[in-house]
Structure 1
């Protein structure tokens, strides 16, 4: 990919961005950048503005928040521009700006490109070095803002736009917007090798795509019990509940297991729409498993919820890049029973850190859960393997370090000019 021609900018008039919360200038710890003589190396701070949707606080938003928190270790200050202000901005504000500054650059509709003018103003005011977009919508805005400012920009591929939802028309539109916007993009970050290969198949040059696996903190809360064969098993599904997460498959699997095992399923996370929530309630009643289901809703403390589970279930149907909750479960020493979708098999090896079922197949999922509950696999051994695998490849620190490397690689190959 080659950056497009930079356009002429002009004053934006009344479309001033509204700050939500800002954090102080970040600097890198001296001991991380010491030379052989022991003196700190002079590393200039990179200032990056992440352009995000901001409506929810789910997997992609967790990636963004962890980057905002960890990038200062590597002399990178990250701020955020929300085009759909919502739960993400609120969560950052609740943490007092420790995860980065947040600005309101709201779009009135899908094609309200005035947000690009707002970002131009932010770039001039705060002297950002580059832009980092995370969705097809924000890729469109970052692409325009790049032309207005002369700043390079990076696109983070969290999931395949062409198969990200259950709505074919939405998928087609998002994929078209993404493809058009990426013509001037400087570099792509994908969260899995499968997505990197997908980008290359769609025409991206190999040297323009880097894999940066998602990462989460090494939080392993203390457990009060270890599950036993013949005892009660508490399963849990943590997600923004929407059709592609496969909650229906999990419910059907629980129904198949109820006569053989004492199981419970905790539904942890909000529903994307009220209509989908109602359809799930109807299915629970139809399967006659109301007494086996516990509804938790949204939580900010995912590790605390994981500590209450004996296994984490994620029966995604499609559209996953590398699910954050899979990595959070691994960090917590919790075996994962998921499906062979996108990047999940890059983190979980079947029979090692967890088990992998076929997507959309309740019988396959029930079979894998039965293997774990019946003791075919040693729970403690699987727990230990999950913790070890997380530490090797999926920490938040490793993700931030690799992202900072991409920033500096892009900046070394471009000469940004604020216009």
Structure 2
């Protein structure tokens, strides 16, 4: 039995969802799984793991260069006799590896999954510091998992890790919640405060700097000039919410944009939508929300950054457009809003693509193979 500790620095965002699904899938006859993360009012809670029979340990907030999480991590390593520490994201990888150093030769094998390594939204000093720390800690890293080919290339441009230690394991999702969702669209829309008869464009994301709402909302004003019966639904929360609200007001879009905040009924929201959009200015690993939208049968319009082009096949399952280009984003949305047959066909092909390449089962198998390879299996 291989004892695995899954470590993530926040319950907000895709990293926590990723480990919830991964931990649920790992074969209980081969792996004993423990999850450690702070509970910071994110979209995954400790109770979500416990309900699935997965041991959960709450950590102190992992922020800045605080040393508070280190003692508990070391105790967990010893008490659980951890064989593999799987760190998700740069902050978890920093703390996890520093905590493991104290155990010397008895430390666990370390796996680091990159979720947005390029991080161009970080200030130059922070980005430079993180990359320097990564170079120092690289010798402690037994395997790196990149969630997209774009992530693998970005990591190897700045890090000295031997190529054979890095594995591309594409993100996967549990498709079951998005299959054959039965929803009363008028009721669902009414509950969200969305016009029942509008063409509904939905984005689901954390509201923070990498999300390019300037481009999205500017493009949306262009779309409305050509197609006035369109409404934008923004699902998610974050530090940029007030900024987004101010921009919606400035562009006179208040009646036409709904900010729904954090929601758990994502499958139902997607089932009530017509198009999914994700506008990003800087970098993406392999966004789970795009996979969820594709699994729901929605055509996707997204910025061509990071691994998005590995998810969305341009003109086949949706449209990828240059980042920070409102006219291009507006035109892509209009192409789908004015051609329902094209939009429906793209949505169907997108759903099939998820089933072929982005399932939780495939991601789980490939991750377990990395674990067993490190343990000599």
Q: What TM-score do the two structures reach when normalised by structure 2? A: 0.89
Q: 1:337 to 1:291 in 2, by over 3 A?
A: same
Specify which structure has the bigger relative contact order, considering alpha-carbon pairs within 8 angstroms and separated by 6 or more residues.
1
Q: 1:310 aligns with which of 274, 278, 287?
A: 274
Give 2:151's aligned residue. Answer: 195
Instruction: Report the number of matched residues.
Output: 359
Q: 2:4, 2:83 within 8 Å by CA — same for their partners in 1?
A: yes
Check 1:172–1:302 CA distance in 2 against 1; reply closer, same or farther (3 A cut).
Answer: farther
Matching residue of 2:191: none
Partner of 1:207: 164
C-alpha offsets along residues 372-412 of structure 1, whole Å, 9 cap, x if unaligned?
11118612211210111000010111111111111111121
Question: Which deviations, in whole Å up to 9, do the C-alpha atoms of 1:252-304 show, x marking residues without a partner?
Answer: 11111112111100010012x1xx22221221111111111011110123212
**Residues 108 and 248 of structure 1, relative CA distance in 2, 3 Å threshold:** closer
Does residue 30 of structure 2 align to residue 75 of structure 1?
A: yes
Q: CA deviation at 1:224?
A: 5.3
Q: Does residue 341 of the first structure (1) align with residue 308 of the second (2)?
A: no
Query: Where does structure 2 lack aligned partners over 5 or more consecutive residues?
Result: 187-196
Whole-Å separation in 1 of the counterparts to 2:162 and 2:268: 42
- 1:206 to 1:128, Cα distance in 2 relative to 1, 3 A: same
Q: Is the 8 Å Cα contact of residues 268 and 296 (structure 1) preserved in structure 2?
A: yes
Alpha-carbon displacement from aligned partner over 1:98-123 (angstroms, at most 9, x marks no partner): 16322123257522335333222112
* Greater mean deviation of Cα atoms: 88-97 or 153-162: 88-97
Q: Which has the larger radius of gyration?
A: 1
Pick closer, same or farther for the CA change 1:352–1:91 going to 2, 3 Å.
Answer: same
Report the Cα distance in structure 2 between the residues aligned to 1:113 and 1:297, rounded to whole angstroms: 32
Determine the structure 1 residue equivalent to 2:109: 152
Q: 2:210 aligns with which of 235, 244, 259?
A: 244
Q: Give 4+ residue runs of structure 1 displaced > 4 Å after superposition.
A: 223-226
Shift of 1:215: 0.7
Aligned to 1:112: 66
- 1:172 corresponds, among 107, 128, 152, to 128
Q: Does the 8 Å contact 2:183/2:268 carry over to 1?
A: no
Matched residue, 1:264: 231
CA–CA separation in structure 1 for the residues paired with 2:132 and 2:275: 38
User: Contact between 1:161 and 1:175, CA under 8 Å: does it hold in 2?
Assistant: no
Find the aligned partners of 2:252 and 2:42 in 1 and give their Cα distance: 36
The normalised TM-score by structure 1 is 0.80
Note the C-alpha offset of 1:145: 2.8
Kindly provide the CA deviation profile for residues 299-356 of structure 1, in whole angstroms up to 9, marking residues without a partner as x: 1232121112101100111221000001111111111110111111111111111111
Question: Which residue does the alignment assign to 1:8?
Answer: none
Q: State whether residues 52 and 81 of structure 1, in contact with CA within 8 Å, keep that contact through their aligned partners in structure 2.
A: yes
Residues 386 and 107 of structure 1: is their aligned pair in 2 closer, same or farther, counting only changes over 3 Å? closer
Alpha-carbon offset, residue 46 of structure 1: 1.8
- Please give the alpha-carbon distance, in whole angstroms, between the structure 2 residues aligned to 1:305 and 1:293: 15
User: Hey, what does 1:410 align to over in structure 2?
Assistant: 374
Preserved CA contact (<8 Å) 2:39 2:45 = no
Residue among 114, 121, 130 paired with 2:84: 130
